[in-house]
Amino acid sequence: MSEKMWGGRFSLPTDKFVEEFNASVHFDNRFYKYDIKGSIAHAKMLAKQEIISTEDRDSIIKGLNQVLQEIETGKLEWKTEDEDIHMAVEKRLTELVGDAGKRLHTARSRNDQVAVDFRMYLKAEIIEIQALIAELLNTLMKKAEAEHEVMMPGFTHLQTAQPILFAHWAMAYFQMIKRDFSRFADCLERMDFCPLGAGALAGTTFNIDRHFTAAELGFKAPTENSLDSVSDRDFALEFLAACSICQMHLSRFSEELIIYSASEFSFIELSDDFCTGSSIMPQKKNPDMPELIRGKTGRVYGSLISLLTTMKGLPLAYNKDMQEDKEPVFDAVDTIKASLKIFSPMVEKMTLRKDKMEKSAGNGYSTATDLADYLVRKGVPFRQSHHIVGSAVAYAIEKGVDLSELSMDEFARFTDVITDDIYQYITVRASVNSRVAYGGTAESSVKEQIKSAKKFLNEIY
């Protein structure tokens, strides 16, 4: 005979390999706090609704708190035969309090139990992730403010395009990661509904109070459809999508840190405690932390694709396939949190090689657009001015000089519109500070971006 809690219908014990293949307790024990919290709320509701006695309620709550203590002190051993965290907790509870423990599962199923555990777990993790994001945002804002005058080249196609402020570059990543913060907030908003009480799929015949348990567990309301409640993993998919986009931003940021720390650029230097050396080349200082963050992005993407693939063909309601929802989420949680924990101090401690950055900002004829804009302001149509400046750049390349080094006679080869005031417009600093349009790279504009960033950070801290 089966010795499982659900074994009344079975005449044979579970095959040993099947038991191991079926069990999730060795990874879903991460839910233990939420499983116990959900069970306490359920017991309170059952007593309130006079489905169990107040004596059983008190016994259950006392027993569950003891189980919690045993888990947190390492006294409770996770056993494969217990299948999952829900059965492990209920089994130990029953050992402690007897028949009262057997009454706890009245009016609920493991289907709604795991759904509520999962949501509570992710709600807590999102809050922790948002705190780490806020820390990185604060670091970026402070770095931009401290280095607000430093210039650097801006790139398109990884070719020098136009000069920008380093602070403008840093605040670009601020905007990306700020969107990540709000994306997790959106995910949290849609996740904040309690599935407990949905039962296996159709609800329950008992007169339960789902609004009570939702409020007790910190949800804004219960879910509205019991069938959807136990079938839904959209909240986990949306969480993984938010993780994937955030990790992608960190990967792009990492890529630029790797490039800019290379000797060919030498724009920045990462602190020694965020780098490693070579086993054979004693001169090497490798940017392993940003490389690892860039590499781990594939893991987070894989978690999203894994769960999307699991869910894509499932009929309603719960199917055992859905046990495969947890490990990808756990891995993504661990990866995104570790990456964020590394990133903030790594950015804070990196140093700028300002002279190299500012010298490079003028390379590649980066002020050519400023010359074209100058001609437009003198009445030359933009397409014509574009052609004139292109010819001037070709000439300067041939001579091996910068545009700002051309004489008035040389400018006259291409147009008679240019006058002596041109040299006020085609320096790197003038180019940067002329871009005063909202969101531009001029120092005045970047200061407004920093001001806005401070306001946002004050709101979320």
Return the amino acid letter for 332: A
157 is catalytic: yes
Q: Given 157, 263, 279, 407, which residue is catalytic?
A: 157
How far apart CA 326 and CA 330 sit, in angstroms, is: 6
Q: Given 2, 26, 53, 278, which residue is catalytic?
A: 278
- 3-state secondary structure string, 385-448? HHHHHHHHHHHHHHHCCCHHHCCHHHHHCCCCCCCHHHHHCCCHHHHHHCCCCCCCCCHHHHHH
280 φψ region: left (φ > 0), alpha (ψ -120 to 50), beta (else): alpha
How far apart CA 247 and CA 253 sit, in angstroms, is: 10
Q: Which residues are catalytic?
A: 157, 278
